[in-house]
Amino acid sequence: MTGTAHQSQPVFAHIVKRVRHIVATEATEGHNGTLTPHGPAATDHCLRLIRAMMAAAKCDGALTGSERERLLDHIGSAEFDPDVMDWIEREFRAPLDIETVVEGCCESRLRAIELYLASLEAIDLAHPEEHAWLRRLAGRLGLERALIDTIHAKHAAPPLTWG
């Protein structure tokens, strides 16, 4: 994944702000509890969030033009350089692969929650496939049902069907 931290800040900052309503980060030695969207690791994570949003948007088997445009507007694609836009276009065409989506996020509970929330924001839960994708994603990220229910409630999202 390529890009600059400056370009990824809007998406990253938005997701971090939303996650702070769910999980309080704690101050530890050498870390004051804040998440700083700077540097290569933050850029890579931001691109992971974008990948998660894209995967969620196409999990029902069809990515419509309006869904694509809504997603591009949401991630602020006008701020990205051509290399990142090329990556975004490749991601739109890539097959759905949950292992690629969760890569680098399963070891961190906070990153897992950010990834889940990014995915939730990309869809409207109007199709059973969207519920199935989020259930599968939550399971793969190790997020328990009570936490998922809390995320949905705190962000005024429709409840996830656990069927």
Strand partners, 28: 31
Interatomic CA distance for residues 114 and 106, integer angstroms: 11
The H or E element spanning position 37 is none
Predicted TM-score (pTM) of the model is: 0.77
Strand partners, 31: 28
What's the pLDDT band for 97 if we cut at 50, 70, 90?
A: very high
Is residue 97 within 8 A of residue 133, CB to CB? The reply is no
As given in the structure block, the two tokens for residue 6 are: 């400056």
> 98-153: per-residue pLDDT in tens?
999 999 888 889 999 999 999 998 888 989 999 999 999 999 999 999 999 999 99
Q: Is 126 or 77 the better-scoring residue by pLDDT?
A: 126
H helix intervals, 81-144: 82-93, 98-102, 109-121, 128-141
Place of tokens 């924001």: 121
Interatomic CA distance for residues 116 and 11, integer angstroms: 14
Q: Output the pLDDT for position 107.
A: 87
Interatomic CA distance for residues 16 and 10, integer angstroms: 10
What's the pLDDT band for 80 if we cut at 50, 70, 90?
A: confident
Distances (CA, A) of 45 to 29, 36, 153: 23, 12, 25
> Taking the CA atoms of the chain, what radius of gyration do you get in angstroms?
15
Is residue 110 within 8 A of residue 23, CB to CB? The reply is yes
Which residues fall within 8 angstroms of residue 119, CB to CB, at 6 or more apart? 52, 53, 55, 56, 101, 133, 134, 137
> 28-75: per-residue pLDDT in tens?
444 333 334 445 666 788 889 889 999 999 999 888 898 888 888 887
